[in-house]
Each structure stands twice: as structure tokens, then as C-alpha cells.
Chain A
Amino acid sequence: MKIADRVEAVPPSGIRRFFELAEEVDDIISLGVGEPDFSAPWAARDAAITSLEQGKTSYTANRGKRELRELIGETMEDNYDLSYDPDEQILVTAGASEALDLAFRTVIEPGDKVAVAQPCYVSYSPGVTFAGGEVCPVRTRREDEFKLTYEMLDESGAADAEALVYCYPNNPTGATMTRDELQEVATFAREHDLTVLSDEIYAGLSYEDEHTSIATLPGMRERTIVFNGFSKEYAMTGLRLGYALGPTEAITAMNRIHQYTMLSAPTTAQYAAIEALESSDDVVAEMRTQYNRRRKLVLSRFEEMGLDCFRAKGAFYAFPACPWDDGHEFAEALLEETKVAVVPGAVFGEGGEGHLRVSYATGMEDLKEALDRIEQFIE
């Protein structure tokens, strides 16, 4: 069958290749996982089960159940000062990934340049390409602790772009950005009239500074779409539930694609999410505490073994410099000799090379064992 060029043009994800390697080795301890090791809060799972028992298996409103949108609105307001109207400015989607795809298709004209802050989640660049856009990589650097700066945006040619997409707290680096640091990005976006697609899926996993959304900075609300969801903070990856917050015209347009392609986000997951928002703050806080302890343990151990690693302050990743020149070779050798999987940073785009993504979404005992093995391997 003839496959369309724009699909053929996108290579399979580099992480896929590493996944296949890891699958061939038995009994590995994986620090290569991009999702929580916890399950969704029991109350949320229980609500999902109850909804199924009650036969709640039909579609919901295109934008998602109103009750859920209201709760999302309240939570975003309470946690991040993000104020959006549940009727017109919040769209519930099948994972934040769907929301991002909708946004790409909504704001990108064929040939538009889209600045993508890298290293980043593997879907942004393909998403831009599928939508007909042209990716303009913006490389973040170890020296800046992988934060976006005005200078890097400028040097990368982002001034000609129509949109900028980034994620903080960041996957794969664990980097976060403070309000002051975001001001630079906001200034650049306003000066060059950029639409900002701000992936804040890890906002709830910020350990040192309060998370700030760029949409709360002056003049940014009207040009920003914020993405969040239940996957990371509520450990609900497989339930596929995310959402977008944005200006009415953006959400209305995104909903137009959504209503034709997805109809509505998974109903069962919406019931789980309602319960999660209503009752699971303490469970989420406990997961956050656990991640934070692991984070500190990982960073201390890296320091002790002389592995250069900046202080990652969010998500559940550390991003140490690779002791070998070639991150792929290192990760493969580590896997083969110690059965510990980490992901070479280069699969996450420019600026990732020479680094390793180490996920601490793994139980403490396994994490400690894996760190011992990494230490021995380096020696």
C-alpha cells in the first residue's frame, strides 16, 4: 500500500529501538520507564469500577463531562492561578497527547515553523510534522540546567516561528522553570508574536519551587494553550485522560477536530478522574513525597559516584552526563552487563546527546540496587 510521504518522513522513535533491546534481556531493573510505578489512587479506580457497574458506558459531551471540567477548572485555579471557563476554555481529551495533536493541527498552517525546545518528549516533533509544520529545534543546555532562555530562542531562529512548544517540569531532564525564568520566554513570545504550547503534564511533580504556568504572565493568556492531565500526577497513564486549557477560540477549534476524530475522551476514565480530583489529594501528596525522596537519593548517589548531574527539580527524571562519549553505547553496555536500563539522552532530541535519562519511577529497593550496579559499572 502507498503510505503518505509525510508519515514515511517521520522515523520510528529512537526509544522504540532501545525498548526492543531491553525486552531481550530477562530480569532487568528498568530506570527507563516514563510512567509512574504507582497505580491510580484506589478511590479513583473504585469510582471507575462503580461507573461500569452502573452501566455508564456511553459517550460523554465532546468536551468531557461538565462536572469534570468544573473540577479541573477549580483545581487549576487553586493550584496554579489558571482561570479558565469550563464551558468554553477547557477540553478533556484522550491523554494530553491527543490535546497536543489537536493543538498542532489547530494552530499550524502547512510550512509554518514551530520552535520545539529540546531535549523533549518524543512526540512533539512528529506531531508538528504530521500537522504539516516544520520543526525548528531549540537546544537547551546543561549550562542553563536545560531551561529555555531568550538567547537560545533567538539563536535558534525561533523569531521566525509561529509557535513554540515546550514542557516544564521537563521529560527527559527533570528541569523546571521559575516565574522569573519564564518571563524571558514570555518576552520573546510577545516580541515575535508566538503561540505558546505549554505542556505542564508534570506540574504536580515540582519538588523545590512552586510550578508557574506561562499563561499566568502578562499578555500570555491569549497566546498560550496549557496541557495537563491525569497520567503522571495521578498515575493514570493507561486510562488516557488529559486536557487543554486555552482561549475560547483555540479550544473551540480544537474541539472541532476532537468531535470528528475522538468524539469524547474515555468515559470510564472521566469517572475515575472526577473521583481523583475530589478525594485523592493525600494519595497524590504521598506519591510526590516518595518521588522526592528517590530524587534526592539518586542525586546524592550520582554525586558520590562522580557522575555530573544538575539538580533536577521536577517530574521523575534525572539527566546525568554520560561518562562515555557515546550515550547509546554506554546504555547498551550497561544493559548487557548489569541488566539496568537507562535511556540515551539523544533519543529526546538536540541537546540530549552525551546524557542519560534515569527515571526514578521505580520502587526504592530496585532503585538502590540499580544505582549500586551503575556505580560498579562505572568503576
Chain B
Amino acid sequence: MDLSDEVVELLRENARYSVEDIARQTDSDPSEVEAVIGDLEDEGVILGYRAVVDRDKLEGETIRAVVELNVTLDRETSYDDVAERIAKFPKVEALHLVSGDFDFQMHVEGDSMSEVSNFISNKVAPVPEITQTVTHYVMTTYKEQGIEFGDGSDDDRLSVSP
């Protein structure tokens, strides 16, 4: 694996690894790692760094919904056109074109159920190409970006063993 791939893998595992720690884990120099990360950012491979948060442990509520969208296209409009229009809304956390019974899968976040439903009915549903929306409110999150929620398991190994 080349250094660039290894850096991506390490940052995907933990975006807070210091440049020095990445260098140590890849047998390379911190300056090299710094340059690689710079390139990855410039090339748009790495688009951002965000924390994975268990919001149930925070005060205040965040409502999340997974929304199925069906669209009808015409000669002038493509999936990309529709997607760009929807993705621009800050409430849209994720948007994927998917195979199967519907076209887009959209993840939406808001402070309340009414905020989320109003957003869908006032901003998304009226988009002319969108023919149908089906909204699923998220009730519990168990795992996100490869990280399991909950308290994890204790290390019950003997503290010193042969």
C-alpha cells in the first residue's frame, strides 16, 4: 500500500491522529505525511473531518430521518441536477442515488419532528421532478461510520499474563 492510501486509512480510522503518530505508524517522516495530507485535501480526496457523536448523550434533541425520494426525469434534467438542488440544503446530511424501489436516499437532520417534516414538505416535495417521498424517522442509532454506540465492553483480561 502506498503512503497516501495508508494515510487515508489511518485518518478514516481516527482523524485526530497527529502527523507524528501517522509517520510512526507508517515508517515515514512527519514532513512526508504532512505533504500527503495536503495533497489529499487539495485533490478533494479528503473533504473534511468530523466527530462521530452519540447525540442521545447530549442535552437537547436531534431528529434524524431517512427519506426515500422518487423522481421522474425529462430530457433536460438528470439525476445530478436534482441531487445538486437537494444537497444544497444544510439540513440534508447525506444524499445517495441508490438502486432499487426508489431513486434517492436522503438523510435529514433537524431540531424537531415538525421542523424535519416541514422541511420535507416545503422544500423537498415541491421540487418538480420529485414524485414521491417516504420518510422514516430514526428511532435508535446503533452504529455509525464503523463505530458502535453504547458503552462498549470492558477489558476484562488479566492485567498481566504470560
Query: Which residues on the A side are within 8 Å of B14 (C-beta)?
Result: 364
Instruction: Give B149-161 as 1s and 0s: 1 = Cβ < 8 Å from A's Cβ atoms.
Output: 0000101011111
Query: Which residues on the B side are within 8 Å of A121 (C-beta)?
Result: 162
Contact between B25 and A15, CB atoms less than 8 A apart: no
A13 with B26: in contact, given A37-B155, A293-B10, A297-B21 (CB under 8 Å)?
A: no
Measured in the bound complex, the distance between the Cα atoms of B25 and A311 in whole Å is 14
Contact between A15 and B10, CB atoms less than 8 A apart: no
Nearest chain B CB to A365's CB is how many angstroms away? 9
Nearest chain B CB to A288's CB is how many angstroms away? 13
Contact between B159 and A15, CB atoms less than 8 A apart: no
In the complex, which residue of chain B has the Cβ closest to the Cβ of A304?
B24
A22 with B24: in contact, given A293-B10, A364-B14 (CB under 8 Å)?
A: no
Within 8 A of B (CB), among A100-126: 121-123
Residue A201 at the chain B interface, CB threshold 8 Å: no
A30 with B162: in contact, given A293-B25, A297-B24 (CB under 8 Å)?
A: no
Contact between B162 and A13, CB atoms less than 8 A apart: yes
Contact between B24 and A296, CB atoms less than 8 A apart: yes
In the complex, which residue of chain B has the Cβ closest to the Cβ of A172?
B162
Residue A23 at the chain B interface, CB threshold 8 Å: yes
Query: Which residues on the A side are within 8 Å of B26 (C-beta)?
Result: 293, 296
Residue A194 at the chain B interface, CB threshold 8 Å: no
Measured in the bound complex, the distance between the Cα atoms of B159 and A33 in whole Å is 6
Residue A34 at the chain B interface, CB threshold 8 Å: yes
Nearest chain B CB to A28's CB is how many angstroms away? 6
Contact between B27 and A34, CB atoms less than 8 A apart: no
Measured in the bound complex, the distance between the Cα atoms of B23 and A296 in whole Å is 9
Measured in the bound complex, the distance between the Cα atoms of B158 and A15 in whole Å is 11
Instruction: Give A354-379 as 1s and 0s: 1 = Cβ < 8 Å from B's Cβ atoms.
Output: 00000000001000100000000000
Within 8 A of B (CB), among A9-33: 13, 15, 18-19, 22-23, 28, 30, 32-33
Residue A159 at the chain B interface, CB threshold 8 Å: no
Contact between A19 and B160, CB atoms less than 8 A apart: yes
Measured in the bound complex, the distance between the Cα atoms of B23 and A22 in whole Å is 32
Query: Which residues on the B side are within 8 Å of A122 (C-beta)?
Result: 162
Contact between B160 and A18, CB atoms less than 8 A apart: yes
Residue A301 at the chain B interface, CB threshold 8 Å: yes
Contact between B25 and A33, CB atoms less than 8 A apart: no
Contact between A33 and B161, CB atoms less than 8 A apart: yes
Within 8 A of B (CB), among A293-309: 293-294, 296-297, 300-301
Size category of the binding interface on chain A? 20 to 34
Query: Which residues on the B side are within 8 Å of A34 (C-beta)?
Result: 161-162
A297 with B25: in contact, given A37-B155, A364-B14 (CB under 8 Å)?
A: yes
Measured in the bound complex, the distance between the Cα atoms of B23 and A13 in whole Å is 39
Q: Which of B10, B25, B153, B160 contacts A30 (CB 8 A)?
A: B160
Nearest chain B CB to A374's CB is how many angstroms away? 15
Contact between A341 and B159, CB atoms less than 8 A apart: yes
A33 with B157: in contact, given A122-B162, A293-B10 (CB under 8 Å)?
A: yes
Contact between B25 and A296, CB atoms less than 8 A apart: yes
Nearest chain B CB to A217's CB is how many angstroms away? 29
Nearest chain A CB to B23's CB is how many angstroms away? 8
Measured in the bound complex, the distance between the Cα atoms of B14 and A122 in whole Å is 36
Contact between B159 and A23, CB atoms less than 8 A apart: yes
Measured in the bound complex, the distance between the Cα atoms of B138 and A252 in whole Å is 59
Within 8 A of A (CB), among B127-162: 153, 155, 157-162
Query: Which residues on the B side are within 8 Å of A160 (C-beta)?
Result: none
Measured in the bound complex, the distance between the Cα atoms of B25 and A301 in whole Å is 10
Query: Which residues on the B side are within 8 Å of A296 (C-beta)?
Result: 24-27
Within 8 A of A (CB), among B1-44: 10, 14, 21, 23-27
Measured in the bound complex, the distance between the Cα atoms of B161 and A23 in whole Å is 12
Contact between A22 and B27, CB atoms less than 8 A apart: no
Nearest chain B CB to A339's CB is how many angstroms away? 11
Measured in the bound complex, the distance between the Cα atoms of B160 and A22 in whole Å is 7
Query: Which residues on the A side are within 8 Å of B160 (C-beta)?
Result: 15, 18-19, 22, 30, 32-33, 341, 343
- Residues on B facing A (Cβ under 8 Å): 10, 14, 21, 23-27, 153, 155, 157-162
30 cross-chain CB contacts under 8 A: A15-B160, A15-B161, A18-B160, A19-B160, A19-B161, A22-B159, A22-B160, A23-B159, A28-B159, A30-B157, A32-B159, A33-B157, A33-B159, A33-B161, A34-B162, A35-B157, A39-B153, A121-B162, A122-B162, A123-B162, A171-B162, A293-B25, A293-B26, A297-B21, A297-B25, A300-B24, A300-B27, A301-B24, A364-B14, A368-B21
